[in-house]
Amino acid sequence: MTGTKQTYVGQSLPRLEDRPLLTGQGRFAADISFPGQWTMRVVRSGVAHGKILSIDVDAALALPGVHAVWTGADVAHIPPIPFRLTGLKTLEPYRQPVLAQDIVRYVGEPVAVVFAADAYVAEDAADLIDIAIEPLPAQVRATEPPGAFAEGLSTEPGVIRKGFGDIEAAFRDAHAVVSLELSVGRHSGVPMETRGAIGRYDEARDILEMHGAAKVPHWNRDTIAQMLGRERHSVQFFEGHVGGGFGIRGEIYPEDVLVCAAALTFRRPVKWIEDRREHLIAANHSRDQTHRIRAAIDAQGHILGIDNEFFHDNGAYIRTHAATVPDLAAAMLPGPYRVPAYRVAGHIRLTNKTPAGTYRAPGRYESTFVRERLLDAIAAEVGVDTVEIRRRNLIAKSAMPYTLGLETLGTHIVYDSGDYALLLDKTLAAAGWDELQTQLQARRAQGEKVGAGVAMFVEKSGLGPFDTVRVDILPDGGVDVITGVASIGQGIETVIAQICADALGVRYDTIRVIHGQTDRIDRGMGAFASRVTVMCGEATRMAANKLRDKALQHAAQLMQTGAESLDIVDGEVVRIGGGPSMPLRELARALPDGLSAEDTFESTHMVYPYGVHVAAVKVDAATGAVAIERYVIGYDIGKAVNPKLVEGQIAGGLAQGIGGAFLEEFLYDEAGEPLSVTFADYLMPTAREVPASTILITEDAPSPLNTLGLKGAGEGGANPAGAALAAAIDDALQRPGAVTRLPVTPMRLKAMTSG
């Protein structure tokens, strides 16, 4: 048997993870129950800022079916929730307690929790708890002077400062200076599935379990174990299906700690499922930045230096992401352009709003909007078109790898590879840019308000420092790939199976990828920062290659030949050139210890995919509506393991980018009362608002930092959408610089057209 090897990497193969979802066998947090479980209901503050005077729980405790009520005093021994990323020492006093201690700082903050026989009793009991709060002045604007967080603590806990080059000389020698004030409103991920957590204590094994984990199960396990004073191996987390991630899900929230602490205390399973209003006022918000930026340019519009000061509204506390979002905004703002000198100061400000965290392309959605608006303003200042000004400032392919001179997420920013000008040309060609300009000009002459815009960006992905993978050959011939990552909808079971199949020599549909189960592998980094395909993919390739070599060595002994004369094809060990073969399952059965291999991929640098968005819109001045008539995305990710899944990621990200550009915004009144607490107030795009898009996936710049040349693909659909659409609206109105704030709501657009 000679066999013909199938190649899986690069093929748009069907997703392996969809069968249970399509057949109604999904296991989301709400689907998980245990005998004798209690329900937890959170009682939340209705005041944005105030001093807790009293909490009367007697009426709630008297209600039949109520087992217990906790207030802050009951959990005062549990420390505040620590940081996972980009933690600064100055931020530590601003961490969130699991229940409010003396002071409430936002509407929705957990003040008490009820434990009852079922959800109905728990909700009734929560309504009976009487909380007396003395209101205090609310801080609702991050751009206003800082106030007091607590005694001796300001509401500006830190300032992110970065830079390189001689910024003073750049502005001294400038032909002109272009200055803008730009803002991105507060919005966030609103997944179909709200948050949920189920704590269960197995007394016989002395194991505390949490079901409903997502994103970073190993870090969450270790952290909650530490918070509750337990050994890490006595706590295990289990990820189920996840109805949307986007950065917002899977961090440690107060509710996660509370269900685990309650399961330990009461020796009962405890279940908490968030309702939609809770989600809109309690889960992480994001974005919400105001930038005051200026650029020094020469007479041709070449950038000499950029100076930026911005204010990041982080809400009431610093949660697990710590300074991640403002740090990324500061570090990634230069994008694909040559910037000889750069200085940035990012003010982290606390307000009496829901605490903030990451959301798809965190910090980059904001900084790309700001940078690309700046490029458009430079084009207007110099008198050239917006495409030409970008060409003049792009980093050349010959400059790669390009050291930016900045750090973020603990790594130096070194663009690993890229041909930005080539992708710009390809994307403009795919959009029919020259013909489009002719058409738009003719339509504007007829009175239509139509226009087109371009935005470019550099993303970051593949954050280390490691991923470990174990590959097992099972007695039935199947293959288990056991990972420390998590699945939040990105298709990792399929992608990792494709990589393993090519390296090992088996069919991809015989592979089962296991993730998010801390009892199956001792360490892992989870799923965030578009890291899984890069880090776990390379670790999978390495482990599969190691297992292949091991299998061939053992098979050579049994088949009485040299390992170099053997290969693995479709799960069979075959002789090259023909002859007897041996199924891998038989080889695994023949070995006393089975057939398994483990390997770890380590990386100290991220990889940097990059892209171009082109948008064409029509503006209705009477209603303030914007219709997207054409949308084209070019994205170079080095190597697409499954191009169709990449397209799906980009299309989904675009929908979220459009939401932030036109519709989604968490608004508050002057007292800190949230005004966007239902879907009637917090608007999201539907199929009507999201256009069919043309997506161009290119592989012109594979990464030299991993064998397959992989770069992540999860955030490029969202990143520059607000910037591209803002530019298109400017063009439609024939008013350069008209859009200075996202979202461009109908009321704001009408104000532009009437101003």
Q: What is the pLDDT of residue 214?
A: 85
DSSP 510: G
Buried b (16+ CB within 10 A) or exposed e, 41-51: bbbbbebbbbe
Cβ 50 vs Cβ 105: under 8 Å: no
Q: So what's the pLDDT on residue 565?
A: 95
- Which residues are 148's β-sheet partners? 154
Which are the contacts of 166, defined by CB distance < 8 A and separation ≥ 6?
305, 341
- Quick one: which of 345, 340, 350 has its CA closest to 393? 340
565 shares a domain with 484: yes
Q: Please answer whether residues 694 and 431 qualify as being in contact, where contact means their C-beta atoms are separated by less than 8 angstroms.
A: yes
Question: Does 353 lie in the same domain as 448?
Answer: yes
**What is the average per-residue pLDDT within 99-109?**
98
Give the domain-ending residue among 227, 242, 273.
273
Token pair in block for residue 286: 């994001």
Among left, alpha and beta (phi > 0; psi -120 to 50; other), residue 25 is: alpha
User: What is residue 261's three-state secondary structure?
Assistant: helix
Residues 540 and 453 in one domain: no
Per DSSP, helices labelled H in 414-561 are: 420-431, 433-445, 492-504, 537-559
The answer to the question of residue 12 being in a domain is no
Residue 668 lies in a domain: yes
H or E element in which residue 511 lies: strand 511-514
Residues 343, 430, single domain; the answer is yes
Q: What is the pLDDT of residue 213?
A: 83
Q: What percent of the chain has pLDDT over 90?
A: 95
Same domain, 576 and 656: no
Q: At 93, is the secondary structure helix, strand, or coil? A: helix
Give this prediction's pTM.
0.96
Are 259 and 131 found together in one domain?
Answer: yes
pLDDT score recorded for residue 2: 46
- Phi, psi angle pair for 381, to nearest 5°: -65, -40
**Residue 674: is its pLDDT beyond 70?**
yes
Number of domains in the chain: 3
Check whether 117 has a pLDDT greater than 60. Answer: yes
What is the pLDDT averaged over residues 419-434?
98
Whether 551 and 700 share a structural domain:
no
Identify any residues that bridge with 674 across adjacent strands, giving them in sequence order: 668
Domain termination site, one of 572, 602, 632: 602
Q: How confident is the model at residue 1 (pLDDT cuts 50, 70, 90)?
A: very low
Pair 244, 324 in one domain: no
Task: For residues 192-215, give the mean pLDDT.
Answer: 95
CA distance 192 to 131: 31
CATH number at residue 383: 3.30.365.10
Q: What is the pLDDT of residues 245-292, one digit of tens each?
A: 898 988 999 999 999 999 999 999 999 999 999 999 999 999 999 999
What does the pLDDT look like over 12-53, one tens digit per residue?
999 999 999 999 999 999 999 999 999 999 999 999 999 999
Q: Are 449 and 487 contained in the same domain?
A: no
- Look at residue 755 in the predicted model and tell me its pLDDT: 60
| Residue 677 lies inside a defined structural domain of this protein | yes
Do 356 and 301 share a structural domain?
Answer: yes
Q: In the predicted model, what is the mean pLDDT of residues 60-87?
A: 96
Evaluate whether residue 279 is within a structural domain: no
**Has residue 188 been placed in a domain?**
no
- What was the pLDDT predicted at 489? 86
Q: Which residue has the higher pLDDT, 592 or 372?
A: 372
Q: Measured between alpha carbons, how far apart are the two ends of the chain, in Å?
A: 77
Residue 156 covered by a domain: no
Query: Do both 555 and 673 map to the same domain?
Result: no
Domain that holds residue 550: 19-26+463-602
Classify residue 258: in a domain, yes or no: yes
Same domain, 293 and 423: yes
DSSP 687: T
Does the residue 720 lie in any domain? yes
- State which of 602, 631, 648 marks the end of a domain: 602
Residue percentage of the chain with pLDDT more than 70: 99
> Does residue 3 carry a pLDDT above 60?
no
